[in-house]
Amino acid sequence: MTDTDYKSRRSAAVPSSRLSRMASLTGLAGRVAGNLVAEGSKHWLRGQRPAMSELLLSRKNLEQVADRLARMRGAAMKLGQLISMDSGALLPPEMAQILERLRDDAVIMPAAQLVSVLEENWGSDWDQRLAQFSFEPVAAASIGQVHKGRTHGGRELAIKIQYPGVRRSIDSDIDNVVSLLRLSGLLPRDMDIDPLVAEAKQQLRLETDYLHEQRQLLAYDAALKDFRHYDALALPGVDPDLSTEQLLCMDFLDGVSLTQAAAQRPELQHQIPALLLEMFFCELFQLRSVQTDPNPANYQYSLQQDQLILLDFGAVRHFPTEFVRHYHSAICAATDRNAAALAGALEALGFFSQRHDAANRKVVLEIFMEATEPLRTPGPYDFGGSDLARRIHERGMAISSDPDAWHTPPADVLFLHRKMGGLFMLAAQLGARVDVHAIFSHYREMP
C-alpha cells in the first residue's frame, strides 16, 4: 500500500471535535469581520460610502466562507449544498455562486487521519482485512470519501469512508453555520429557512449511518426491479461483513461521468436524461421511494455494459400513499393548466400558509404550471435551448422579494422539487431533447 499519489490532492485534517469545529467557524467569523473593516477602509479613503451589504458580500468574504465549509465537510458543507440548490433563487447571486462550489468541492483527509478511521472500525490490523487498498480516493464529498479495495477473494470494492466527527456534530454544526450566515449578513435575516434546517439535520442523521444506507440500497434495488427499464441500470452489491456505521463497502462499478459518456456516444446526451426522468416518475408514482439527491456525481455510465450506474442511496426518501396521490393530482392539474384543481391539490399537500394573499398564491400556481412545460409539450422537449429556468427564476423573485409572503413548502415537496429541478438542469447541461410528454403519459393513469 502506498500514499505516493495522495499528496497530489488538496488535503486537510477534518476537525473532529465539537470544540474544534466551533472554533473553526468562530475564526471564520473573525476573518469576515476583519475583511469588512479592511475593505471599508479602502472605500472610505477614496471618499466612497459603500453599503454594509456590499462589503459583506465581497468576493474575499464569500470565498473564505465556502472554503471553510469545504474543509469542515459534513453538516456544514451539506447545509451549504442544500441552501445553494433549494434556495438559490432567494439568495444574493454572489452567495449562490460561491455555495455552488460546495456541490463538488471537498478537501480529502490526510493519510494519517484516514488510517485512524480505518483502525477505529476494523481494528489495528485493518490492513489484513483486504488484499489491496488504495490510499488515493476516487471521489470525495460532504460526508465521506471513496477508496478502491480488493478482498482476498478477488472482489473489487468501492469503500465509502466517513469523515470523523461528522455524525456527532450535526446539530451544532448546522446551528453554528446558520448563525454565522445570519450574523455576517450573507444570509438575509428575514429569510425563513427553519424547515430546511430541520430537514437538513434529519437527512444528515440518516446519511451518516452507513448501515442505514446499506439497507436503503438493498430495499431500493429490490423495489426498482419493477421499473420497466431496470436492465438499463446497474446498482452495486454490498459486503455486509466489512461494512460498519462509518464504512460502506460496495462493489466497484467502473464507469465514466455522464458528460464523458455523452461526449463519446452523442446519442446518450438524450437517452440518459430520458432514462433518469422516467425512473423519477416510476420512483414517485409507482414505488413511492425516490433517491432525492440530483447531484450528477451520483451517477456514472458504463460504456462497456451500456448501463447507467447508480451510486448513492443515503438520500432515498419514502413517501406516504396519500402524499403521492395528492402530488399526482397536482402535477396532472399543472400539466393541464387547471389552476383550480392545482390549488386544491397544493392545499391538500400543505403547500400554502394561512398568510398567503391571493396575488402571491397566483404566482405560486403560475410557477408550478410553468415548471411542467416539458410534461405537456408533445414530442421531444429541447432542454438545451429552453429558457424555462430563467422564466421560473423571474417569477420566483416576485415572491422572494417579499419575505413575509414566502412560505417554505413541506419537506417532502421540497425534496421532490429539488430532484426534478436537478434532472431538468442535467438535461439542459447535456443539451438533451426528451419526449417527456410521452414518458409522463405512461405514469399519468396510475393510481
* b/e code 381-394 from CB counts within 10 Å (16+ = b): bebeebeeeeebee
Q: Among 165-174, 348-357, 370-379, which stretch is predicted with the lowest mean pLDDT?
A: 348-357
Q: Is 254 helix (H, G, I), strand (E, B) or coil?
A: coil
> What is the percentage of the chain residues whose pLDDT exceeds 90?
49
Q: Is the pLDDT of residue 52 over 80?
A: no
Q: Is the pLDDT of residue 260 over 80?
A: yes
More confident residue, 255 or 186: 255
Q: Is the pLDDT of residue 43 over 90?
A: no
Mean pLDDT score of the chain: 79
Q: Is the pLDDT of residue 239 over 90?
A: yes
Q: Is the pLDDT of residue 47 over 90?
A: no
Pairing assessment for the beta strands 299-302 and 307-310 based on DSSP bridges: antiparallel
> In the annotation, is 221 catalytic?
no
pLDDT at 389: 81
pLDDT at 228: 95
pLDDT at 49: 42
- AA identity, residue 94: E
- For residue 289, CA distances in Å to 55, 63, 320, 415 come to 45, 37, 9, 12
pLDDT at 441: 95
Q: Is the pLDDT of residue 243 over 80?
A: yes
- AA identity, residue 388: L
Q: Are 177 and 270 in contact (CB under 8 A)?
A: no
pLDDT at 251: 98
More confident residue, 89 or 285: 285
- Catalytic pick from 293, 387, 404, 412? 293
More confident residue, 66 or 336: 336
Q: Are 242 and 249 in contact (CB under 8 A)?
A: yes
**Mean pLDDT, range 271-296, rounded to an integer:** 95
* Nearest partner of 90 among 351, 408, 347, judged by Cα: 408
CA distance 372 to 367: 9
Q: Are 213 and 313 in contact (CB under 8 A)?
A: yes
- Summarised one tens digit per residue, pLDDT across range 91-122 is 455 555 555 555 555 568 889 999 999 999 99
Q: To which residue does cell 403521492 refer?
A: 324
> What is the percentage of the chain residues whose pLDDT exceeds 70?
68
- Summarised one tens digit per residue, pLDDT across range 377-393 is 999 999 999 999 888 87
pLDDT band per the 50, 70, 90 thresholds, residue 351: confident
194-207 and 210-224 helices, crossing angle to 10° = 90
- Summarised one tens digit per residue, pLDDT across range 400-447 is 555 555 556 777 887 888 889 889 989 999 999 999 999 999 999 865
- Summarised one tens digit per residue, pLDDT across range 21-31 is 444 554 544 45
pLDDT at 70: 54
The residues with which 434 forms a beta bridge, in sequence order, are 381
pLDDT at 80: 54
